[in-house]
Structure 1
Amino acid sequence: MSPVSILLIGFAMSTDAFAAAIGKGAAMRKPLFRDALRAGLIFGAIEAITPIIGWLLGRAALQYVEAYDHWIAFGLLLALGIHMMVNGLRTDDPQEDEDPSRHHGFWRLAITGFATSIDAMAVGIGLAFLDVHIGVVAVVIGLCTLTMVTAGIMLGRALGNLVGKRAEIIGGVILMAIGATILYEHLSGAA
């Protein structure tokens, strides 16, 4: 897998966390950089761990699915991409957020970080079938998420919901393109 593909996966995996960070930043009165960095560290650490867990699960199943692993990677990335695009197109219920001041504690941030990292675990499963160093991918995903969440919280006050949903749509398109590239490279190499 090329360094550009790894970087694109890192940014694609961080777009849903970025969208959540924009929402959190918009809900904070005046987010300080240290608060944004703290959230970025929490999200980034969780987002870096989950693809490793997924990769380990995928490696355990590798011997059973080796003949069609490229289709699994393609299917997972396609499904995640579509899921992210649907979430990006969905309208939020304005009454859903009852008390914005309660959403910035460690456990709330950790739970939100885990919820936005489920897709990274699925990507880790897909990457188990490819020749890729999962440690590098996990670090890139974690650093991209740290950067995007920190920036998202700081930008959240100014941007609100304007960019958040579009970021998820773009991330979904990137994942689908990477999945199609994996499938194309495998099928053209096998032909």
Structure 2
Amino acid sequence: MRIWEIILIGLGLSMDAVAVSMTNGMIYKGLTKDKVIGMPVFFGGFQGFMPLLGFLLGGLISGIITQYANILVFLILGFIGSKMLIDVYKDYKNPEAEEKVVEGNLTYKTLLLQAIATSIDAFTVGIGFSAIGVNVVYASSIIALTTGVCSLVAIFVGKKFGNMFESKSTLIGGIILVLIAIKSLIG
């Protein structure tokens, strides 16, 4: 498999991570440097790790993982997005409450769940790599790097949109995550 083919696979796999990174950049106004660095590391790391895992486990648990992957993504991203929408609704119902800006509340636990949810499809790619005899360490490294770079760019794009939409950014971010969750169920 040629490098450009692996980069294209990496770009395709990174799209959910890019959307989540952009959403995080949009809604978390007080992102610290460690979280800005952490997102590409987590997203890229998991996108690179999952093909390795898929390659190694191949047929052992692939049926179970691939059978329930969409449901798992739906539950994780649906929960996070729904929580954001509920928070927006609570703020709307309480007009006396001050305009709330999310100040760096992105936890490593949330980041870990986001990274897992956005990388499950890469497990299946690893199974495919084992079937066609791809150098999985090389391919996984390229996928991880591609996802990391795309996620980093997406954070800054998200920050730009967050500044443009100000108070609506949490609503938009919640809707984006819920839509990705729903898309995972549809296929």
State how far apart, in whole Å, the 1-side matches of 2:114 and 2:157 are.
Answer: 18
State how far apart, in whole Å, the 1-side matches of 2:53 and 2:60 are.
Answer: 11
- The one-letter amino acid of 1:111's match is L
- Which residue among 87, 110, 121 is the counterpart of 1:98? 87
Match of 1:159 in 2: 161
Question: How is 1:27-46 mapped onto 2 (pairs within 5 angstroms)?
Answer: 27-31=27-31, 33-46=33-46
- Which residue among 137, 140, 148 is the counterpart of 2:139? 137
Deviations 1:70-126 (A, max 9, x none): xxxxxx9xxx9xxxxxxxxxxx87963637557511111011000000011111111
State how far apart, in whole Å, the 2-side matches of 1:138 and 1:105 are.
Answer: 26
Q: Residue 132 of structure 2 aligns to a residue in which SS? A: coil
- The one-letter amino acid of 1:120's match is A
State how far apart, in whole Å, the 2-side matches of 1:101 and 1:21 are.
Answer: 16
Q: CA RMSD in A?
A: 3.8
State how far apart, in whole Å, the 1-side matches of 2:153 and 2:121 are.
Answer: 21
- The one-letter amino acid of 1:29's match is K
Match of 1:50 in 2: 50
Give the ranges of 4+ consecutive aligned residues of structure 1 lying more than 4 Å apart after TM superposition: 92-95, 99-103
Q: Which runs of 5+ in 2 are unaligned?
A: 71-80, 89-101, 163-171, 181-187
Residue 23 (1) aligns with residue 23 (2):
yes
Residue 13 (1) aligns with residue 2 (2):
no
Deviations 1:155-184 (A, max 9, x none): 10223569xx7xxx9xxxxxxxxxxxxxxx
Q: Residue 85 of structure 2 aligns to a residue in which SS? A: coil
State, as a whole percentage, how many aligned pairs show the same letter. 26
Shift of 1:140: 0.9
- The one-letter amino acid of 1:24's match is N
- The one-letter amino acid of 1:22's match is M
Deviations 1:123-143 (A, max 9, x none): 111111112100011111111
State how far apart, in whole Å, the 2-side matches of 1:156 and 1:58 are.
Answer: 36
CA contact (8 A) 2:44 2:145 kept: yes
- The one-letter amino acid of 1:116's match is T
Shift of 1:50: 0.8
Q: 1:20 to 1:117 in 2, by over 3 A?
A: same
Q: 1:22 to 1:132 in 2, by over 3 A?
A: same
Q: 1:103 to 1:12 in 2, by over 3 A?
A: farther
Aligned pair count?
146
Q: Which runs of 5+ in 1 are unaligned?
A: 62-75, 81-91, 170-191
CA contact (8 A) 1:32 1:154 kept: no
Q: Residue 96 of structure 1 aligns to a residue in which SS? A: helix
Q: 1:47 to 1:31 in 2, by over 3 A?
A: same
State how far apart, in whole Å, the 2-side matches of 1:125 and 1:9 are.
Answer: 14
TM-score (norm 2): 0.63
